[in-house]
Amino acid sequence: MWTPRFSGKLESMRNPEYVPLICTLLAIEVAHLRWIIFTQWRCRRCASPHIDCGCKPNWIKRLL
């Protein structure tokens, strides 16, 4: 039966050893999304990428 093996797999997923790994992957993903926002999104006023834009909204400045 697959059920005991599946639940055993879930049990190992809850192993605390995975928590730092998951946190690291989340941090990498957040940094990646920030990089995309700053380099790929363009400002509506000055048409510069947000990384070069001087008039970006405060919420974007806070992300820096």
Residues that bind Zn ion (CB under 5 A): 43, 45-46, 53, 55
Nearest approach, Cβ of 32 to Zn ion (angstroms)? 23
Nearest approach, Cβ of 54 to Zn ion (angstroms)? 6
Nearer of residues 24 and 48 to Zn ion, judged by Cβ: 48
d(CA 11, CA 29): 25
d(CA 58, CA 1): 56
Nearer of residues 34 and 43 to Zn ion, judged by Cβ: 43
Dihedral angle sign, alpha carbons of residues 26, 32, 37, 41: negative
